[in-house]
Amino acid sequence: MSTGPASPFTAETYQNEYLAAGADTVDAVVTVEAAGDEQAAGAAAVRGGADRAEVIIFDTSGSMGTARKLEAAKEAAAAAVDSLDDGVSFAVIAGDHQARLVWPVDGRSFATATPADREGAKAAIAAAQAAGGTAIGTWLDLARTLFASTTASARHAILLTDGRNEHQQPHELAAAVQACRGLFQCDCRGVGVDWEVEELRGIATALLGTVDIVADPEDLAADFRAMISSSQARALPDVRLRLWTPQGAVLESLRQVAPEVLDLTGAGTPSGPLTQDFLLGGWAPGEARDYHLRIKVRPGEVGDEMLAGRVSLVLADGTVATQALVRAVWTDDVAKSTRIDQHVAHYTGQVELAEAIQEGLHAAKAGDHATATVKLGRAVQLAAASGHDETMKLLSKVVEIQDAERGTVRLRPRAERSAEMTLDTRSTRTVRLGRRSGDGAPEGGSPTPREGT
Amino acid sequence: MNPHEARPGRVAPADGSCPACGEPLVAGARFCESCGTPTGLPPDDVAGAGRPDGLPACDRCGGEVGPDGYCTVCGHRAEDPVEVHAVGPVGWATHRGYRHHRNEDAGGVVRTAEGWPVLVVADGVSASPSPDEASAAAVEAVVAALRDRPVTGEGDLAAALEAAHAAVSALPHDRDPHWPPDDTHPACTIAVAVAGPTVRVANVGDARAYLLAPAGDGWRATQLSSDDSVAAAAVAQGIDLEVALALPGGHGITAWLGADAFDLDPHLTSVDAPAGALVLVCSDGLWNYAPTDEAMSALVSAALGPPGRPAGPLPAICELLVRWALDQGGADNVTVALAPVGDTSELEENP
């Protein structure tokens, strides 16, 4: 299904296309890889530093004044400024119950990463004081105003907070996030343990960014440098996934399932009578992401073949870079229709793993220890089965694992809050399954009579 | 483009909304775009009619069929035409049928050094990876072994099947995207007939060769090949063929070409043909609907018309027989080849 070496993307479908008579649900995993060679990106690629805009948003609410958080945040913001490639447009926002543009301060929307502007920005950052409340929506509103004024094709922000969105109604934040969608990508970080995982995850998911906890303020600077570096590696801005489905079909779900779970189901916007586009944000050369689709179609007759979905990767300039087909073939051969594709099975398990962790932690927080034990036990079982060592390590800080294979666990009575929040924020990270070659162990062939010539 | 906008002259139901979900309907739509409920509009002018814009039309919904063979509106894969090969007076025809998503049969026609037609039909084993490649490789090997070569006895056919077996066995077993990685290897059945004055037949599995002899106003079909099948084993014990085929696993085969096969032991037969006889080679996609010699005799008599007054050229008769099998349900890929016995006319594939 690839379009050859010159294309910036390749896509491949993994599915069991065979359905029993009357069956109407088509599952498939589509793996997408960006070419390792930056040249392949062609005309749609980011054209140097001048074509990139970065906004650094850090929390200066009163609570940041404790535990050296503000000092660490200022150092991190300064480190981010230093990490910018020469010529990148950038701005720095300090946020409490309102947003303040820290740099530039001369009426421009964006400064340019030059020695003078870098020094000016760092001095302004250093002067920030901790005071006031937290209204994250106002920070996003200001960032949106800035990004709306730039023609840079790559637009990215970092948002750091240590608390909940207390000085704003949830619907105000939701509206602010919605207005930013598609305008810029935003990586979100929570420092300390007094912020809300769900809240930051909601922002990061809608704005196609990552979410993580930085429990120790001393780790912030390294993390900011890493975020700027990943952002600047994204040579292909504003990639979209276009999904065609046949008339009468319903997209039951579309999730990014690797490198982490991201539910895209309701996020599509119509781009034609039978197509919808999903924003994927920027891609770095060599990057790989996997998507799980579930499409409900009108069942065909035995022997019918239907195209249940066509996945296209669309570049910022509208070029279709590659396509992958999701098919449905109705058969009365039970051996074929009952087979489960191992990619679909694997990622179904990974999504269940993320859900089990989130539901388990939610139950624990609500004092429902029975449900928490069952859910986190199931998570341990799924992590063990898929070899997800990283999640297993995080789980073991929250539960005592007695039998990983059976999922027998006991809640740790005094688990650290930061351990629970780390497990929660990283619950969506998945392990990726290998490519088709080398998959699966060979089975013995049997010289018995064979059906179906 | 909204396909319905390009199709004037249709009206939506009176109130213009879906009876199931209440969403407004696109004028002329046969299905609700929201929930997929049929609107009750008939597929009127769609079947085979082509579209007003000249693009190929889907035989289900009338939408435009895209270059990849799928309807751009309903996703249905367009029906394939019967593939007909006319090689002078000799020919063969094939179709994937209605229940298989690809054609795993292969066929071929060549001449021996004596000028006699050679008919080859191979049928890929669906319960193996890359069965389409298996049958294609087998036919290619037989064609190479017999083309312009003298055929003096059954040993020449046995050698051709040895070559086919080796070709199928050499195929990689791990490049079928529709087959999970395992230890099964590509496999196929095959039947070969040399239509000289002495008809010589070799087969492995359940592809068949028949001698068709004039008999009064019709034709008498005699199966020359021997099935390697569970049913054939039951028949050997005295059970009626039609009963045997209905047994569980009755259609299972007990021999095939490919790396998983037991020692190759093809059935070899020779018979002197009467004047005016024909040879027919086919996959089980045809003979499953006419399993006995009596049923096949009736079928070919109807298709060919009386001896001496042929109903049409043999390639067209092959197509007719394939279409008949499709009309019976098309449960399998179907391939039919026909040649006049002893014919030595020049062979050029007609366009």
Domains and CATH numbers, chain B: 83-340 (3.60.40.10)
Alpha carbon distance A26, A109 (integer Å): 48
Residue B48: per-residue pLDDT: 37
pLDDT digits (tens, 9 = 90+) for B209-263: 999 999 999 999 999 999 999 889 888 888 888 888 887 777 889 999 999 887 8
Q: Does A68 touch chain B (CB under 8 A)?
A: no
Give the nearest chain B residue to A305 (CA atoms). Answer: B77
- Alpha carbon distance A332, B100 (integer Å): 10
Residue type at A217 in one-letter notation: P
Those residues whose C-beta lies under 8 Å from the C-beta of residue B313, and which sit 6 or more positions away, are: B86, B89, B91
**Are A449 and B31 in contact (CB < 8 Å)?**
no
Grade residue B34 by pLDDT with cuts at 50, 70 and 90: low
Q: What is the full DSSP assignment across A220-254?
A: HHHHHHHHHHHHHH--EEEEEEEEE--TT-EEEEE
Interval B303-316 mean pLDDT: 88
User: What is the spatial distance between Cα A217 and Cα B299, in angstroms, rounded to a whole number?
Assistant: 86
Q: Measured between alpha carbons, how far is A136 from A95 in angstroms, rounded to an integer? A: 7
- How many residues does this entry show for chain B? 351
Provide CB contacts within 8 A for A171, sequence distance 6+: none
**Helix (H) / strand (E) containing A291:** strand A288-296
Task: Find chain A residues with C-beta within 8 A of B36's C-beta.
Answer: 247-250, 298
Is pLDDT at B330 greater than 90 in this prediction?
Answer: no
Q: What is the mean pLDDT of chain B?
A: 84
| From B70, B101, B284, residue closest to A329, measured CB to CB | B101
For chain A, the structural domain boundaries read 9-40+236-338, 49-233, 344-425
DSSP element (H, E) containing A9:
strand A9-14
Question: CB B36 to CB A273 under 8 A?
Answer: no
Pick left, alpha or beta for residue A139 (phi over 0 → left; psi -120 to 50 → alpha; otherwise beta). alpha
Beta-bridge partner residues of A158:
A56, A187
CA-CA distance, B87 to B345, in Å (whole number)? 10
Spatial neighbors of A160 by CB under 8 A, at least 6 apart, are A57, A58, A59, A73, A76, A77, A188, A189, A190, A191, A220, A224
Nearest Cα of chain B lies from the Cα of A182 at a distance, in angstroms, of: 25
- pLDDT higher than threshold 60 for residue B39: no
Q: Which two tokens stand for residue A50?
A: 């001048």
Inter-chain residue contact B181 with A249, CB threshold 8 Å: no
With an 8 Å Cβ cutoff, are B205 and A453 in contact? Answer: yes
The pLDDT confidence band at residue B29, using thresholds 50, 70 and 90, is: low
B76 contacts A305? CB cut-off 8 A: yes
Contact B99 A444 (CB under 8 A): no
> How many Å apart are CA A160 and CA A57, to the nearest integer?
6
In CATH, the number for domain A9-40+236-338 is 2.60.40.3670
Distance from CA of A321 to the nearest CA of B (A): 17
What residue type is B106 in one-letter code? Answer: A
Residue A52 CA to residue A152 CA, distance in Å, equals 5
Q: Distance (Å, rounded) from C-alpha B18 to C-alpha B26?
A: 10
Interface test with A, best of B32, B37, B174 (most A CBs within 10 A): B174
Q: What is the pLDDT of residue A452?
A: 52
pLDDT at B32: 52
| Adjacent-strand bridge partners of B307 | none
Between CA A417 and CA B341 the distance in angstroms is 88
Q: Burial of B278 by CB count in 10 Å (0-12 exposed, 13-18 middle, 19+ buried)?
A: buried
- The verdict on a CB contact (< 8 Å) between B3 and A273 is yes
Count of residues in chain A: 453
CA nearest neighbour of B2 among A268, A315, A270, A293? A270
In tens digits, chain A (453 residues) has pLDDT values of: 333 335 889 999 999 999 999 999 999 999 999 988 767 667 778 888 889 999 999 999 999 999 899 999 999 999 999 999 999 999 999 999 999 999 999 999 999 999 999 999 999 999 999 999 999 999 999 999 999 999 999 999 999 999 999 999 999 999 999 999 999 999 999 999 999 999 999 999 999 999 999 988 999 999 999 999 999 999 999 999 999 999 999 999 999 999 999 999 999 999 999 999 999 999 999 999 999 999 999 999 888 889 999 999 999 999 899 999 999 999 988 888 999 999 999 999 999 999 999 999 999 999 999 999 999 999 999 999 999 999 999 999 999 999 999 999 999 988 899 999 999 999 999 998 764 433 333 222 223 455 555
Check CB contact under 8 Å for A247 and B101: no
A/B interface, count of CB pairs below 8 Å: 131
Per-residue confidence (pLDDT) for residue B346, from 0 to 100:
63
Output the six-digit token pair for A440.
Answer: 């699966």
CB contact under 8 A, A300 and B76: yes
CB contact under 8 A, A453 and B125: yes
Residue B209: the pLDDT is: 98
- Per the model's pLDDT, the better-predicted residue between B8 and B124 turns out to be B124
> ipTM score here?
0.77
3 state SS of A149? coil
A79 touches chain B (CB under 8 A): no
CA geometry: angle at B72 spanning B67 and B78, to 5°?
65
Tokens of A164: 């909940």
Looking at chain A from residue 258 to 287, which residues have their Cβ under 8 Å from any Cβ of chain B?
A: 273-274
With contact defined as beta carbons under 8 Å apart, do B38 and B58 qualify? no
A440 close contact with B: CB closer than 8 A = yes
| Dist. CA A116–CA A138, nearest whole Å | 28
Q: Which residues of B touch A297 (CB under 8 A)?
A: 75
Instruction: Provide the pLDDT for residue A43.
Output: 73
pLDDT at B54 over 80: no
E strands present in chain B: 83-87, 90-95, 105-111, 117-124, 188-195, 198-204, 208-215, 218-223, 267-272, 278-282, 334-340
What is the phi-psi region of residue B86: left when phi exceeds 0, alpha when psi lies from -120 to 50, beta otherwise?
A: beta
Contacts of A451 in chain B (CB under 8 A): 126-127, 249, 251-252
In angstroms, the separation between the Cα of residue A330 and the nearest Cα of chain B is 8
Is residue A165 within 8 A of residue A187, CB to CB? The reply is no
Report how far apart the first and last C-alpha atoms of chain A are (Å, whole number). 28
* pLDDT interval class at B53 (50, 70, 90): low
pLDDT attached to residue B192: 98
In the sheet that holds A320-331, the strands lie side by side as A18-20, A320-331, A305-314, A236-244, A275-283, A269-270
Contacts of A439 in chain B (CB under 8 A): 181
Using CA atoms, how far apart are residues A142 and A408, in angstroms rounded to an integer?
49
Inter-chain touch A453–B253, beta carbons under 8 Å: yes
Inter-chain residue contact B262 with A304, CB threshold 8 Å: no
Contact A450 B127 (CB under 8 A): yes
**Predicted local distance difference test score (pLDDT) of residue B37:** 52
- Is A385 at the interface with chain B, CB within 8 A? no
**Is residue B239 a contact partner of residue A439, using CB atoms and an 8 Å limit?**
no
What integer pLDDT is reported at residue B44 of this predicted model? 38
Smallest CA–CA distance, residue A400 to chain B, in Å, is 38
Tell me the C-alpha distance between A292 and A31, whole Å: 9
- Of A300, A444, A451, which is closest to B252 when you measure between CB atoms? A451
pLDDT at B3: 34
- Look at A303 and B100 and tell me if their CB atoms are within 8 Å: yes
Burial of B262 (0-12, 13-18, 19+ CB in 10 A): exposed
A254 contacts: CB under 8 Å, gap ≥ 6: A241, A243, A263, A264, A265, A268, A278, A291, A292, A293, A294
Mutation target for A interface from B23, B30, B77, B284: give the one with most A CBs within 10 A: B77
How many angstroms away from the CA of B179 is the closest CA of chain A?
9
**A270 CA to chain B: closest CA distance, Å?**
13
- Residue B273: which residues within 8 A CB-CB, separation 6 or more? B195, B197, B198, B199, B211, B213, B279, B341, B342
Domain range A344-425, its CATH number among 3.40.50.620, 3.40.1010.10, 1.20.120.1690, 3.40.1010.20: 1.20.120.1690
Does the distance separating the beta carbons of B125 and A450 come in below 8 Å? Answer: yes
Residue A445: per-residue pLDDT = 29
Residue A107 tokens read as 């009426």
Omega before residue A259 within 30° of 0, cis: yes
CB nearest to A248's CB, from B31, B127, B182: B31
User: What's the pLDDT at B21?
Assistant: 64
CATH entry 1.10.10.60 includes domain A49-233: no
Positive or negative, the Cα torsion across B131, B133, B138, B142?
positive
pLDDT at B293 over 80: yes
A318 token code pair: 């509208």
Inspect the interface and report whether the beta carbons of A332 and B99 lie closer than 8 Å: yes
Rounded CA-CA distance A234/B47 in Å is 49
AA letter at A99: A
Within 8 A of A333 by CB-CB distance, chain B residues are 126
* Beta-bridge mates of residue B257: B188
Q: Mutation target for A interface from B35, B178, B189: give the one with most A CBs within 10 A.
A: B178
Q: How far is B187 from chain A (nearest CA, A)?
A: 9
